[in-house]
Amino acid sequence: MPDFSPSSSRPPQVGRRTLLGAAAAATAAPVVLGSASRAAAAPAPRKKPRALPGGGDLGPNVLVFDPSTPGIQARLDEVFRQQESAQFGTGRYALLFKPGTYSGLNAQLGFYTSIAGLGLSPDDTTINGDVTVDAGWFNGNATQNFWRSAENLALVPANGTNRWAVAQAAPFRRMHIRGGLNLAPSGYGWASGGYIADSRIDGQIGPYSQQQWYTRDSAIGSWLNGVWNMVFSGVEGAPAQSFPNPPYTTLATTPISREKPFLYLQGSEYRVFLPEKRTNARGVTWGNGTPRGTSLPLTQFYVARPGVSAATLNQALEQGLHLLLTPGIYHLSEPLRINRANTVVLGLGYATLIPDGGVTAVKVADVDGVRLAGFLVDAGPVNSPTLLEIGPRGASRDHSANPTTVQDVFIRIGGAGPGKATTSMVVNSRHTIIDHTWVWRADHGDGVGWETNRADYGVVVNGDDVLATGLFVEHFNKYDVQWFGQRGRTIFFQNEKAYDAPNQAAIQNGSTKGYAAYRVGDAVTSHEGWGLGSYCYYNVDPTIVQHHGFAAPVRPDVRFHNLLVVSLGGQGQYECVINDTGSPTSGTSTVPSTVVSYP
């Protein structure tokens, strides 16, 4: 039985986000070791490292249940007690349920906890009960319910409606709710989420107090309301386009999507399923029999445990293995180098990578079909120039038939301690799909301050034909997103400017007041975005003025649909929405200023 001893987590901290809520309702050559030359003798033969094995045990923090397992509820409760308020703790857990039917369970999820079924379809694993996220630990405020996930389960909620009151970095994927879904905490307190994909909710989804939400390639019974920014693409049953009142942005299909890889059981064998790419997608992938795609046996993965070195992980990659990162924290003395096409790096239970000494955590070559999914990159105390690089500078190969996907990969600078990175994520490879990320310079926790967790840029896209579906990027010292590639597209964007700017001069961008949250480069001739929002809350100096949330060249093929900016309680103001267009935000009234179409 896994050890449920308390982690080294600290009590929850009431951060500035509390005030935000108050203001608004193939085998490669192996690694070789060098050898010294010998005078008048043949060089000593170079030794190959022993080949690393594939497969293996998933480790103590992966809890696997079947319907006959005794004491399931007690185990779930024990994990929740440990993780409920451990926002910056070290505990990491994956709760996995073998196919079958389970009754009378309520799996409450705390921080860094993932729950998932082990069938090919969500309907293979049914819980007559609930998977619950609420906000009792934070006095009914759900704006800090980060870093938890639910995947690949069917739920029959005990009272007909399941509660999933989450904020950022809390994906809800491949779920079947045989009832309704409530996205608000008990008491309908503040909430700031969220993301649903490849899911079927038979009844109504009630966001209530949720400020923003993105739902992709799903089927829903109905949708109740919207606060600021509700975006749907490829969703059967979605409300009609009506932004800004109600604030619904609705696309009939998602142009390109490929669902996240997932672990499942075939008999007694663990495998990883790799869903195929879809174009103009609509609805779930699993509704009519076996989902379409391929699968890999776990023996083709190096099953990593916390404490393993970056050199060993790179040896596994060079050897031709994929990586399965079991729950825990991994310190990296060198980047993970993904040089082989179709490599999968899949994390369980919010496996966390920390680059030491200012290195980049992950570097991906300009190759086809890499899949990065389900892990957190946490900046170290020595500044990293970048944390995640998709493709090298100047990457130009066509990956349209088999793109790289970055899914539920989250980045954090500060919060768990001092962290610094000049740029968090750089995308150089063409046709990359960024499907749900939260790139966050921390606004609360430990190691937080204008210079303490300095991070100038969040996401920089240099590659052409990149698509982002569900882009959350917040609090960077300068630009949160810069997009220099051609034909880029973003469906849903959520942003807050850095709360902690000390004064107007600190954010002055030449002659412009402040750095845009989302900037399209001057040389770009084609770009499109739908449902993009930026919020400001300059609580250190509420007199700060931000000229606009969005900046882009004025060209007919650089187009935006349904933009908004919000000043939270008048703590700072926007003068415009995009470029010089759009009304200023209105005093202390937390009401969005919107632009329906630009130019």
- Rounded Cα distance, 64 and 431, in Å: 36
Pairing type for strands 200-206 and 180-182 reads parallel
Q: How many CB atoms lie within 10 A of CB 47?
A: 10
Concatenating the DSSP letter of every residue in 421-464 gives EEEEEEE-STT-EEEEEEEEE-SSSBS-STTTT---EEEEE-ST
Residue pLDDT, tens place only, 560-576:
999 999 999 999 999 99
Euclidean distance between CA atoms 466 and 509, whole angstroms: 27
Contacts for 1 with CB less than 8 Å, ≥ 6 apart: none
- What is the spatial distance between Cα 367 and Cα 416, in angstroms, rounded to a whole number? 33
- What is the phi-psi region of residue 372: left when phi exceeds 0, alpha when psi lies from -120 to 50, beta otherwise? beta
Percentage of the chain lying above the pLDDT 70 cut: 92
- What confidence category does residue 304 fall into, taking pLDDT thresholds of 50, 70 and 90? very high
Report angle CA 354, 383, 497 to the nearest 5 degrees. Answer: 95
The residues near 32 (Cβ < 8 Å, ≥ 6 apart) are 46, 47, 48
Q: Are 480 and 495 in contact (CB under 8 A)?
A: yes
Q: Are 450 and 413 in contact (CB under 8 A)?
A: no
**d(C-alpha 291, C-alpha 256), whole Å:** 17
User: Residue 201 — pLDDT band, cuts 50, 70, 90?
Assistant: very high
Specify the DSSP class assigned to residue 92. -
Burial class (CB in 10 A: 0-12, 13-18, 19+), 426: buried
Closest CA to 147 of 88, 189, 101: 88
Reported as a single tens digit per residue, the pLDDT across 526-554 is: 999 999 999 999 999 999 999 999 999 99
pTM of the model as a whole: 0.93
| C-alpha–C-alpha distance, residues 291 and 273, integer Å | 9
| pLDDT score of 35 more than 50 | no
Q: What is the mean pLDDT of residues 195-218?
A: 98
**Active-site annotation, residues:** 496
In whole angstroms, give the CA distance from residue 47 to residue 30: 10
- Structure confidence by residue, pLDDT tens digits, 395-443: 999 999 999 999 999 999 999 999 999 999 999 999 999 999 999 999 9
pLDDT attached to residue 384: 98
- The CA R_g of the chain, rounded to the nearest whole Å, is 23
Strand duo 362-364 + 384-390: pairing: parallel
Q: Quick one: pLDDT at residue 287?
A: 85
The b-or-e profile of 262-283 (16+ CB within 10 A means b, else e) is bbbbeeeebbbbbbebbeebbb
Amino acid at 408: D
What is the secondary structure of 211-264 as a DSSP string?
SEEEEES-EEEEE---SSEEEEES-BTPPPP-TTSS-EEEESSEEEE-PPPEEE
